[in-house]
Amino acid sequence: MPRRCPSRPSRLSRPARRGLAAATVVLLASVAVGCGDAGELQGAGATPTAISPDKLWPDLTPASSPAFDIGEVDTEVVKTIKVPGGDIRKVDPVAVVREEITTHPGDYAQGTYAETARRMADCGRSGAAGRRCPVLKAYYRDLTGDGHDDLTLGFRQLPGNLTAVRVYTVRKDRLVQVMAYEDAVSGVELAGRSVIIRAPSEVAGYEYRLQWTWDQQQRAMLLTHDEMLRTGGRKYSPHPSASPTSTASASPTPSPAASSSVSSSASGR
C-alpha cells in the first residue's frame, strides 16, 4: 500500500494558535508524568567499594611440584576386559570390579577391603544372597564427548562405609579407566561432562561437593571443584546412587549386577 502523506493544515488565527500551544504543553506534561510513573529508573543504593586482593608472603619461594598425588590424571587400561564392537554396554560391570580386585590384591584379598572380595561371590545370585553383592547398578552416558556411551560404575568397599566410583571409556576397543575415587558417598550425579560426588562433612549442616569433569587435553576426568556447601536441611539418601534427576538423563540400563546391588548406608568421611 502506498504511503499517504498528511494533508497541509489550514492557517490558524493568532488566538487559536495560542490555545493549541497551551493544550499541547499540558498534554506533553501529562504524558511525561505517566511515562515516569510506569518505568523510571530506581536507585540501587550505595555501591560497595571494590577491594583488591592482597598478595601474602611475596618472598615465599613458589612450589614447583605438588605435595600430594591425588591421581587426578591417572588412567589405566583394563587389559583383560574386551569391548565387543567398541560397545561399552556389552561389558559386564561385575567382571570389571573383579579385575580391579585381582589387580590390587593388597587392597582387597589380603587388605582393607577383604569383605568386598568375599562378597563378589554373591554377585549374580538371587534373593538375599544376591543383595550382598557389592557392585551397584551401572550407568551409561557420554561423558567424553565422542558420541559414545561411557560407563560410570560404583561398588562398596567393605567392611566400612566407603563407595568406590569409577568411570570407564573405550579406546580402540580397549576398556580404559579415566576416573577413580572413593569416599563416604551420600549422592552421585551426572551433569554434562561431569560426575558430581556428595559426601557428608564433620560439620553439621554442611557437605562436601566434588566435581570431576572430562578434560580433552589430559584425556581424563579432572577434579575441577572441591567445596563445602550448606545442605539446607536436605536429608541424605541411605542408598549411594545417582540422583533422580540424573537417573533420567543418564540412561541407566540394568546390568548383570543391577539385581544384586547392595543396600548399605554411607556416612562419615
Residue with the bigger pLDDT between 263 and 127: it is 127
Average pLDDT over residues 239-245: 40
Q: Does an H or E element contain 177, and which?
A: strand 174-183
Least confident of 50-54, 164-168, 203-207, 258-262: 258-262
Three-state DSSP at 31 gives helix
Paired residues of 228 in beta bridges: 208
Q: In what order do the strands lie in the sheet containing 150-157? A: 76-82, 174-183, 162-171, 150-157, 139-141
Find where cell 582393607 sits.
112
Q: What is the 8-class DSSP label of residue 203?
A: S
Of 60-69, 194-203, 227-236, 250-259, which gets the smallest average pLDDT? 250-259
Nearest to 258 by CA among 155, 119, 164, 114: 155
Task: Answer whether residue 188 shows pLDDT above 50.
Answer: yes
- C-alpha grid cell, residue 262: 547392595
Grid cell, residue 169, equals 571409556
Higher pLDDT: 119 or 68? It is 119
Peptide bond preceding 159 in cis form (omega within 30 of 0): yes
Strand-pairing partners, residue 225, are: 211
Angstrom distances, CA of residue 155 to CA of 58, 182, 268: 46, 9, 17
Q: What is the pLDDT of residues 62-75, one digit of tens each?
A: 888 888 776 667 89
Q: Which three cell numbers stand for residue 122?
A: 554373591
Q: Lowest-confidence range among 24-33, 54-63, 105-114, 142-151?
A: 24-33
Average pLDDT, integer, range 21-33: 49
**What backbone phi and psi angles, to 5 degrees, belong to 227?**
-145, 165
This prediction has a pTM of: 0.68
Q: How many helices (H) and strands (E) does the chain have?
A: 5, 9
Per-residue confidence band for 19, with pLDDT thresholds at 50, 70 and 90: low
Higher pLDDT, 49 or 137: 137
163, β-bridge pairs:
156, 183
Looking at the chain, the whole-number percentage of residues with pLDDT higher than 90 is 57
Residue 140: how many CB atoms within 10 A of its CB? 18
Instruction: Kindly state the DSSP code that residue 186 receives in the 8-state scheme.
Output: S
**For residues 257 and 155, what is the distance between their CA atoms, to the nearest angstrom?**
10
Distance in angstroms (rounded) separating the CA atoms of residues 236 and 255:
25
